[in-house]
């Protein structure tokens, strides 16, 4: 899809690294100085070899503590429309250090508030490049996964979870049998790849939107780990035409839905469960 130009940049810190103000100042200095200069060099260098792929810039790791980025805007020398994106990570520091998430700490709210201004100002799509607790099985971290999926549904065009492995811990998104790890279920919901409407919202196995009245098909992708044999589908309002293609060879299955008689603005609710 593209190039993530630098993973989790940070440093150096001149002063007390436990002082939030010192860390924020160090982050701003790096983003406005050496990091910005490096991104410019990398963008130009990659474009000499590849004019098609997307290029993603990351803020420093302090974005996870609710510190807005101070990166400048960047120019894309490719012909045509720019293909630059913003790829922050979405980690709670305490959870990364082994704690169970405390929903009263305001992490999701601070992060969401910090993330939006930069891509809006520079017209960049947001791809959360990494997220996911090291252990999704604890009560707080199960809730954290759900809250993060809900939050990203509002501010990100997409995300990539860390990481794809089978096991009983250590960030594995799959259990030993290859099913969604306990607590990671919300990350395996259907993905609305193309929707004939606006205001798309997802909530686990439910996808909602407001019909545009064109009668065109909507397409939902089914993660094979959660829907290995396709899906059972219920649609409101009545009269929908539904086609389900089962997953094959590890690829996602597809649900296509057409509402030929829905008027513009009609609420649509699609509920999916594994077959």
- Read off the pLDDT of residues 199-249 as tens digits, 9 standing for 90 and up: 998 888 899 999 999 999 999 999 988 998 889 999 999 999 999 998 887
Q: Residues 36, 126: one domain? A: yes
Q: Give the residue among 96, 182, 168 at the shortest CA–CA distance from 131.
A: 96
Structural domain span for residue 247:
189-275
Q: Angle at which helices 139-155 and 107-115 pack, to 10 degrees?
A: 20
pLDDT score recorded for residue 248: 80
pLDDT score recorded for residue 149: 94
Q: Which residues of the chain have pLDDT under 70?
A: none
Q: Residues 229, 179: one domain? A: no
Q: Residues 35, 151: one domain? A: yes
Q: Residues 227, 145: one domain? A: no
Domain boundary among 157, 187, 217: 187
Q: Residues 275, 177: one domain? A: no
Question: Is residue 52 exposed (0-12), middle (13-18) or buried (19+ Cβ within 10 Å)?
Answer: exposed
Q: How far apart are CA 242 and CA 156, in angstroms?
A: 28
Q: Residues 135, 179: one domain? A: yes
pTM for the full predicted model? 0.89
Domain boundary among 131, 153, 187: 187
Q: Residues 23, 151: one domain? A: yes
Q: Residues 146, 263: one domain? A: no
Q: Residues 198, 165: one domain? A: no
pLDDT score recorded for residue 137: 92
Domain boundary among 164, 187, 210: 187
Q: Residues 156, 209: one domain? A: no
């Amino acid at each position: 899809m593209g190039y993530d130009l630098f993973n989790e940049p940070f440093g150096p810190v001149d002063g007390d690294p436990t002082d939030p103000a010192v860390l924020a100042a160090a982050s701003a200095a790096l983003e406005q100085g050496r990091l910005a200069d490096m991104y410019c060099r990398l963008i130009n260098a990659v474009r000499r070899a590849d004019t098609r792929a997307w290029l993603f810039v990351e803020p420093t790791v302090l974005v996870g503590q609710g510190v807005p980025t101070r990166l400048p805007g960047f120019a894309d020398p490719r012909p045509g429309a720019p293909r630059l994106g913003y790829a922050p990570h979405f980690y709670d520091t305490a959870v990364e250090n082994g704690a169970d998430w405390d929903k009263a700490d305001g992490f999701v709210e601070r992060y969401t508030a910090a993330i939006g201004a930069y891509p809006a100002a520079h017209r960049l799509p947001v791809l959360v490049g990494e997220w996911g607790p090291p252990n999704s099985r604890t009560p707080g971290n199960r809730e954290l996964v759900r809250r993060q999926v809900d939050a990203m549904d509002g501010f990100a065009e997409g995300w990539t979870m860390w990481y794809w492995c089978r096991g009983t811990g250590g960030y594995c998104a799959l259990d030993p049998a290859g099913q969604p790890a306990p607590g990671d279920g919300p990350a395996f919901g259907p993905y609305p790849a193309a929707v004939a409407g606006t205001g798309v919202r997802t909530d686990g196995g439910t996808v909602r939107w407001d019909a545009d009245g064109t009668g065109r098909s909507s397409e939902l992708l089914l993660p094979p780990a959660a829907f290995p044999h396709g899906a059972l589908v219920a649609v409101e309002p009545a009269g929908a035409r539904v086609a389900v293609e089962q997953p094959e060879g590890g690829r996602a299955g597809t649900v296509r839905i057409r509402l030929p008689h829905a008027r513009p603005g009609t609420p649509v609710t699609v509920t999916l469960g594994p077959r």
